[in-house]
Structure 1
Amino acid sequence: MTHRYNKQVFALLVSAAFFSACSVTKTYETPKMQTDGLYRGQNVTDSATMASQPWQTLFTDEKLKVLIQKGLDQNVNLKNAIQNILQAQASLQQAKLAYLPTLSADANATRSKQSSAGLNFPPGIDINTLTTTYKLSLSTSWEADIWGKLSSTKRAALAKYLETDAAKKAVQTQLIADIANNYYSLLALDQQLVITKETLKSRITNVATMKDLKEGAVVNGAAVVQSEASRYATEVTIPDLKRSIRETENAMSILLAQSPGTIDRSTMDAQTVPSTLATGVPAQLLQNRPDVQQAEMAFRGAFENTNLARTYFYPSLTVTASAGFSNLTLKDFFDHSIFYNLVGGLTQPIFNQGLNKARLKTAQSLQLQAMNNFQQSLLVAGQEVSNALYAYETAVEKQDSRAKQIAALVKAVDYTQDLLRYSSATNYTDVLTSEQSLLAAQLSGVSDHLQKLQAVVNLYRALGGGWK
């Protein structure tokens, strides 16, 4: 009767636990995020976005494509991100297997000797105080997931896996952008070096011209010295340009996971940009930006860890069992030597020095931090899209004015040089000013073109392009 009563009580406890489990843990739902107005000055309704475009079609320079593919194959940070995914996969698999019971085997032989005095038998009785016990057994243990502890652990592991997968995608999109931006920087430096070298040739010619004009008493010695100073001022910028080229090549080599060396490349004039830049609607950042996805999965993991922390306040149900053979002799090892036991129990925490409360408070705080980081990642994404769009717009806006400025300065240089040769209405200072302004405008024109190219790259990355 008592045995039957105990079984009924135990069954009632387990049933109550199962029905109460739903109130312990909560179901995760993606937070509703405010995305209106994330793109400053943009009121977009078209869902088409360049983020959906593969990088192989966005970039038209074949040499750049080769470098990007090489980076994707060899980059160290990307390889480490892949290893993080594998580690998270292993943790997820382990969390899934936690639902299954453990199983272990044990085989041992124990030799023991008891003291005669310790046995306290009457005198005259011969007792064998030396015994050998042989034992072969299997044991198993299983914890019922009545409060959602195991399922919360599994869901947290899944969130971690998805977080590492998103992190890998974020590394990939950043890598593609870094390679493209460094590539365009190299092309810009190449073109600036060509312009500077051509200008240097012109400066050297000017020095010879000034010397001839001095011989003809058209200019004085000051003009000759000024022309020489202008020549050297141009010449001294060339080593810095070469240094910048080498440093950029070295930076590119790191991205490609190779020793520093020359980077094969084309020219600035060969580069093209898309005819239209489709941004899509801001809400698409939640699906397209890997770092935003990563932040959400971090929040999801923190949410499940909070669920897990709640389960520690409730009893755990564990069932253990063991069975096997035990005998004093090997000869009759399997004869009448079977043993087994089965134990089921509920363990309820009563006092553990505030550990459970501290665990829950910590988990809740980490969850709030993760939520804040999620919101911040979306705001940063909107900022980066807005910045890239405006950088592109200003680069385009400058193009027409810059071209007109350069054309006017070319004429100014020609006019002042002619006036210096054939008229006394000007002096070399006017020539020098117009030449210096022309060089600065030409170099700025290259920078404008670079800004336009890099704005496209940065917009592509900011929208979440490069991993699909």
Structure 2
Amino acid sequence: MKLKLSISILTFGVFLLSACVKPSIYQQPNVNTEDLYRGVESTDSTGIASLEWQQLFTDPILQDLIKTGLAENLNLKIAVERIAAVQATFRESELAFFPSLSAGLSRTENQLSSQAVNFPVGSIRLATSTNTLQLNTSWEADIWGKLKSAKKAAYANLMREDATKRVVQTELIANIANAYYGLLALDKQLMVTEETVLNRKESVESMRALKDASYVTEAEVMQAEANLYSAEVLIPNIKKGIRETENILSFLLGSASSSVRRSSLDTQRAYADLQTGLPAQLLQNRPDVQQAEFALVAAFENVNVAKTYFYPSLTITASGGFNSFDLKDFFNRSIFYNLVGGLAQPIFSKGRNEARLAIAEADQKQAMYGFQQSLLGAGQEVSNALFAYQTAVEREEIRGKEIESLTKAAEYTKELLVYSSNTNYTDVLNSEQALIVSRLNGVNDKLEQLQSVVNLYRALGGGWE
């Protein structure tokens, strides 16, 4: 009875003291998001990040590829399993509030030497057997909020892992779309190059006919053949790029390397209504920014936990059970129990508590810088992707005029080669070479349009909802 009264008084005193010492409460840092998008002024909260990826990518084949990737990609599956592991850690932090309970069953055989006891032989039992059934429990009162802060840190880590999974998902969707568009661009470049090869083969035949008619020399025929080979030599590299891109797509889809079904670049239309929304929405839309903030929350709560080690801890332990020399009397007046309440105040711990707090505070600062860095990086990516789209659109318009002019220039120089002595085959070579370069660059302009939309969508945090 006295022990119970002492524990009650002790507990009341500690809880009274704990009312004066409360853990800090996390508040989101005040960050400036107004100037994150360079050169972009938006007052509309509606942005393409709110679109489902099926709305942005309307090609049915691409949609099927993304669905397959979301179901089969191995990195995404790994991320899901990591969440399961962290969920177990969180459940463990929840159970820390409850008392521990263990049970034990033992039998002990003792044999004393008759020469080691100061009693007449036969007056006491030298051989004894002890049978014990015991339950043990222990409970630490969370008077300083250590367990509560540890639970909050575990929950933040769980949310951070969930955000990591969403980072993988947004990256996966963007990578599949970019690889798909890259594959279509390579197909288009291959088609342009093969068309050029056919045209140049015709040019070689024409030059041979002109040489037979003494309009051109053998050297100019050789130049025409070299011009043909300069186009043909591009084809192996383009085919190599196609094979490698198909392999990349197969890897993203979680399958062995194989040919990838696809449409054509000419059928693709870049999404034009590129609204960015407000920069502050990156805090809710970008999973990697959320990931960084959850890391900050976990670090903040770990500082709270580290501070509690400087305060006394209250632990209550109890044990009880049955203890008897003879099994026949095991449950007959053989009950025993004990109840202990202990208050431990750290006095000298070799600097362990100070070091624990210093490490936690340093981790919190690192997490804060990481959060700020992720936000700045997100704004930079949005600005770059949007400007890349705008410049690609401008280049495509100018490139169309360039290709038209170069096409006419190549035709005119071929005609002048026959009818005018002021033109030689070098002029034809230059105009034809400039034409194929311009056509291939035109394909790249279209590709950059498509991919910049994908990159903007990912940069704004689209693709995970």
Counterpart in the other structure of 1:296: 293
Is 2:138–2:315's contact at 8 Å kept on the other side of the alignment?
yes
Q: Is the CA contact (8 Å cut-off) linking 2:319 and 2:338 kept in structure 1?
A: yes
Query: Which residue number corresponds to residue 258 of structure 1?
Result: 255
Shift of residue 15 of structure 1? Answer: 2.8
Q: Which amino acid aligns with 2:37?
A: Y
1:382 aligns with 2:402: no
Cα deviations across residues 190-232 of structure 1 (Å, max 9, x unaligned)? 0000000000011111111111101111111121011011011
1:69 is aligned to 2:67 = yes
TM-score after normalising by structure 2: 0.97
Q: CA deviation at 1:3?
A: 6.6
CA distance, structure 1, for counterparts of residue 3 and residue 100 of structure 2: 28
Give CA deviations for 1:262-287 in whole Å, capped at 9, x if unaligned: 11110001111223101001000000
Aligned residue type for 1:10: L
Kindly indicate whether the alpha-carbon contact (under 8 Å) linking 2:389 and 2:448 is maintained by their aligned counterparts in 1: yes
1:78 equivalenced with 2:76 (yes/no): yes
Output the CA distance in 2 between the equivalents of 1:8 and 1:269.
81
Cα gap change, 1:124 to 1:397, in 2 (>3 Å): closer
Query: How large is the Cα RMSD of the aligned pairs?
Result: 1.5
Match of 2:277 in 1: 280
1:389 and 1:237 map into 2 onto residues whose CA distance is 32
Mapped contact 1:44–1:281 kept (Cα < 8 A) = yes
CA offsets 1:292-325 (integer angstroms, 9 cap, x no match)? 0000000100001111111111111111111111
The one-letter code matched in structure 2 to 1:384 is: E
Larger mean Cα displacement after TM superposition, 330-339 or 439-448: 330-339
Residue 321 of structure 1 aligns to a residue whose secondary structure is strand
Q: Secondary structure at the match of 2:21?
A: helix
Q: CA 1:125–1:305 in structure 2 vs 1: closer, same or farther (change >3 Å)?
A: same
- Aligned residue runs from structure 1 range 5-154, under 5 A: 6=6, 9-22=9-22, 25-121=23-119, 123=120, 126-154=123-151
On the 8 A contact 1:21/1:148 being kept in 2, the answer is no
Following superposition, the deviation at residue 138 of structure 1 comes to 1.4
Residue 171 (structure 2) pairs with residue 174 (structure 1): yes
| CA distance 1:67–1:3, shift in 2 (3 Å) | closer
Output the CA distance in 1 between the equivalents of 2:121 and 2:375: 90
Task: Tell me, yes or no, if the aligned pair for 1:39 and 1:383 is still in contact at 8 Å.
Answer: yes
Query: How far off is 1:105 after superposition?
Result: 1.3
1:447 aligns with 2:415: no
CA distance in 2 between partners of 1:466 and 1:374 (Å): 21
**Corresponding position: 1:348 with 2:345:** yes
Structure 1, unpaired ranges of 5+: none
Q: Label 1:99 to 1:12 Cα distance change in 2 as closer, same or farther (>3 A).
A: closer
Inter-partner Cα distance in structure 2 for 1:353 and 1:343 = 27
The CA deviation at 1:124 is 5.2
Which residue pairs with 1:271 in the alignment? 268
* Partners of 2:230 and 2:8 in 1: CA distance: 98
User: Residue deviations 1:178-201, cap 9 Å, x none?
Assistant: 000010000000000000000001
Shift of 1:32: 1.3
Instruction: Note closer, same or farther for the CA distance 1:8–1:412 as it changes in structure 2 (3 Å cut).
Output: closer
Following TM superposition, by how much is the alpha carbon of 1:422 offset from its aligned partner in structure 2, in angstroms? 2.7
Quote the Cα distance in structure 1 between the aligned partners of 2:302 and 2:134.
Answer: 37
TM-score (norm 1): 0.97
Q: Counterparts of 2:208 and 2:268 in 1: how far apart (Å)?
A: 42
Contact 2:289/2:374 (8 A) holds in 1: yes
Change (3 A) 1:5 1:100: closer
Amino acid at match of 2:303: T
SS at match of 2:329: coil
**1:88-141 deviation per Cα after TM superposition (whole angstroms, max 9, x unaligned):** 1110011001001111111111111223343322x3552211101111121111
Q: 1:248 aligns with which of 228, 245, 248?
A: 245
| Aligned-partner residue type, residue 36 of structure 1 | E
Query: What is the CA-CA distance between 1:16 and the residue it aligns to?
Result: 2.8
8 Å CA contact retained: 2:15, 2:143 = no
> Are 1:20 and 1:147, in contact at CA under 8 Å, matched by a contact in 2?
no
Corresponding residue SS for 1:36: coil
Which one-letter code corresponds to 1:262 in the other structure?
A: S
Structure 1 range deviating more: 446-455 or 346-355: 346-355
| Equivalent in the alignment of 1:419 | 416
User: Structure 2: 5+ residue runs without aligned partners?
Assistant: none
Residue 11 of structure 1 and its aligned partner are, at CA, apart by 4.1
Q: 1:333 aligns with which of 330, 334, 347?
A: 330
CA 1:292–1:321: 2 relative to 1, 3 Å: same
Report percent identity of matched pairs: 54
* Conservation of the 8 A alpha-carbon contact between 1:21 and 1:146: no
The code of the aligned residue for 1:290 comes to P
Matched position secondary structure for 1:356: helix
Task: Write the deviation string for residues 152-202 of structure 1: whole angstroms up to 9, x where unpaired.
Answer: 110010000000000000000001000000100000000000000000011
**Residues of 2 paired with 1:401 and 1:62: CA distance?**
31
Partner of 1:458: 455
Cα 1:142–1:181, aligned 2, differ >3 Å: closer, same or farther? same
Distance in 2 (alpha carbons) for counterparts of 1:98 and 1:4: 24
Q: In 2, Cα distance between the equivalents of 1:124 and 1:390?
A: 103
The verdict on how the C-alpha distance between 1:7 and 1:332 changes in structure 2, with shifts beyond 3 A counting, is closer
Which shifted more, 42-51 or 453-462? 42-51
Q: Would you say the 8 A contact 2:112–2:126 is kept in 1?
A: yes
Q: CA deviation at 1:18?
A: 2.8
Q: 1:399, 1:125 → 2: CA distance?
A: 111
Aligned AA (2:17): A
Pair 2,245 (structure 1): closer, same or farther in 2 beyond 3 Å: closer
Among 183, 189, 193, the residue aligned to 2:180: 183
Change (3 A) 1:364 1:4: closer
CA displacement, residues 340-398 of structure 1 (integer Å, 9 cap, x when unaligned): 11111111111111000001000000100000000000000000000000000000111
CA–CA distance in structure 2, aligned partners of residues 150 and 5 of structure 1 = 26
